[in-house]
């Protein structure tokens, strides 16, 4: 851009904001996703995820210069269907570095929506402090689409990350003007822009007209956990088994044969299972595999010792964690202990 061609008032305000030491510093960590997606035409939803670099995403919201001093780093360039534990570890390492060195006042992660709830929960359990807010965001429409939602989501997410009111709340996410808690957020729509919700609790706050407002504090989100990834080299293997009417048990025997460390049941109702599954779960527990009862139902919770006798079966109840979040907590829990009672305590605490 040639500054000479800019109106004087704009030049002055750009220069002032760039030099204003009072503006909060926000680092954007790009991972890919639709927010960085590029399509072939504005009227088509199809696109390639993760193509646009983070600097260009920032360039798309010039007005942010009035609110924050923003810089970007690329961590990965993947659609979040290709998110991996290795990328989570890289993100976690960089975030903990930024926190330790106080390089920024807030961090935003741009991320695909498909597995965003998993990354949010993983980081909520592993980031060592929430004094520097960490906020995930993404978009449902690629940058090339009519009414792309990415620029507004990114703008609002930066405001949330820069706002001191966001401290001490754990990892957050910003979508469609809602501030969601990273522990509770889930994707609830496959294509619409309002794709995220926290069905048991609701959003903790809102952003509107560049103002961040909070209504709720989630007491389960900003807790010091024992999960320190700097000491972990290989993550325990935990898999998910989906249950339905007349579902067969042989998939559980398959995982027993693979010697996995843990299994999460996407059970029916209150973490329930049919008789054949129950017998297979007994075989898994006898083989030393930790089994968590979660549910395929998107709201409510799985209650310990309710319809299923967890003590007799040797199972762990997931509380309100859906199967994909329960998998993360069991993986991290298993980095600390193999004691079923202790693992159950994690599920009732975090
Ligand atoms: N498949 C994309 C992803 O998760 C969808 C999106 O970002 O909305 O990266």
What pLDDT shows up at residue 204? 98
What pLDDT shows up at residue 167? 97
- 153, 200 Cβ separation under 8 angstroms: no
| Higher pLDDT pick, 3 / 266 | 266
Mean pLDDT of 80-102: 96
pLDDT digits (tens, 9 = 90+) for 199-230: 999 999 999 999 999 999 999 998 889 999 98
Taking each helix axis as running N to C, give the angle between helix 250-257 and helix 275-286, from 0 to 180 degrees, rounded to the nearest 10: 10
CB of 150 shorter than 6 A to ligand 1: no
Q: What is the DSSP string of 82-120?
A: G--HHHHHHHHHHHHHHHHHT--SEEEEE--STTHHHHH
Terminal Cα-to-Cα distance of the chain (whole angstroms): 48
CB of 137 shorter than 6 A to ligand 1: no
The closest alpha carbon to 105, from 184, 53, 159, belongs to 159
Domains of the chain: 21-214 (3.40.50.1170), 237-349 (3.40.50.40)
Q: What's the CA-to-centroid distance between 18 and ligand 1, angstroms? A: 32
Indicate the pTM of the whole model.
0.92
Q: What is the C-alpha to C-alpha distance for residues 111 and 80, in angstroms, rounded to an integer?
A: 7
Q: What is the C-alpha to C-alpha distance for residues 114 and 98, in angstroms, rounded to an integer?
A: 26
Atom 7 of ligand 1 has which residue's CA nearest to it?
112
pLDDT digits (tens, 9 = 90+) for 97-141: 999 999 999 999 999 999 999 999 999 999 988 899 999 999 999
pLDDT digits (tens, 9 = 90+) for 17-73: 444 678 999 999 999 998 887 776 676 666 676 678 888 899 999 999 999 999 999
Which ligand 1 atom lies nearest to the CA of residue 82? 9
In three-state secondary structure terms, 9 is helix
Whether residue 3 has pLDDT greater than 50: no
Which ligand 1 atom lies nearest to the CA of residue 50? 9
What pLDDT shows up at residue 70? 97
The closest alpha carbon to 265, from 280, 243, 244, belongs to 243
Q: Give 14's pLDDT tier (boundaries 50, 70, 90).
A: very low
CB of 136 shorter than 6 A to ligand 1: no
| Higher pLDDT pick, 308 / 49 | 308
What pLDDT shows up at residue 55? 87
Q: What is the C-alpha to C-alpha distance for residues 135 and 157, in angstroms, rounded to an integer?
A: 6
**Catalytic residue set:** 34
Q: What is the C-alpha to C-alpha distance for residues 53 and 74, in angstroms, rounded to an integer?
A: 7
What pLDDT shows up at residue 47? 66
Which ligand 1 atom lies nearest to the CA of residue 78? 9
Q: Give 5's pLDDT tier (boundaries 50, 70, 90).
A: very low
Taking each helix axis as running N to C, give the angle between helix 323-334 and helix 340-349, from 0 to 180 degrees, rounded to the nearest 10: 130
Mean pLDDT of 229-252: 95
């Amino acid at each position: 851009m040639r500054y000479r061609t800019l109106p004087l008032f704009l030049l002055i305000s750009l220069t002032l904001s760039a030099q204003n030491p009072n503006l909060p510093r926000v680092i954007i960590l790009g991972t890919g996703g639709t927010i960085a997606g590029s399509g072939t035409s504005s009227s088509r939803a199809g696109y390639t995820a993760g193509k646009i670099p983070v600097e260009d995403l920032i360039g798309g919201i010039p007005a942010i210069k009035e609110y924050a001093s923003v810089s970007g780093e690329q961590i990965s360039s993947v659609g979040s269907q290709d998110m991996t534990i290795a990328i989570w570890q890289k993100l976690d390492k960089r975030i903990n570095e930024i926190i330790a060195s106080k390089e920024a006042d807030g961090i935003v992660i741009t991320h695909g929506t498909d597995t965003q709830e998993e990354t949010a929960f993983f980081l909520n359990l592993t980031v060592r402090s929430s004094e520097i807010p960490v906020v995930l965001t993404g978009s449902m429409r690629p940058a090339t689409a009519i009414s792309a939602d990415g620029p507004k989501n990114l703008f609002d997410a930066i405001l949330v990350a820069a706002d001191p009111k966001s401290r001490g709340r754990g990892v957050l996410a910003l979508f469609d003007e809602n501030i969601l808690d990273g522990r509770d957020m889930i994707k609830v729509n496959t294509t619409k822009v309002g794709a995220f919700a926290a069905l048991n609790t609701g959003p903790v706050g809102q952003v509107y007209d560049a103002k961040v407002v909070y209504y709720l504090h989630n007491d389960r989100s900003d807790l010091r956990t024992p999960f320190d990834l700097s000491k972990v080299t290989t993550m325990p293997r935990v898999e998910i088994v989906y249950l339905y009417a007349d579902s067969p048990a042989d998939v559980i025997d398959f995982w027993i044969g693979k010697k996995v460390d843990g299994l999460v049941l996407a059970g029916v109702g209150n973490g329930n299972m049919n008789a054949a599954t129950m017998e297979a779960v007994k075989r898994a527990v006898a083989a030393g595999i930790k089994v968590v009862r979660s549910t395929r139902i998107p709201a409510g919770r799985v209650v310990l010792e309710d319809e299923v006798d967890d003590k007799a079966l040797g199972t762990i109840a997931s509380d309100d964690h859906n199967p994909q979040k329960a998998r993360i907590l069991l993986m991290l829990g298993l980095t600390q202990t193999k004691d079923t009672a202790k693992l159950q305590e994690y599920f009732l605490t975090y």
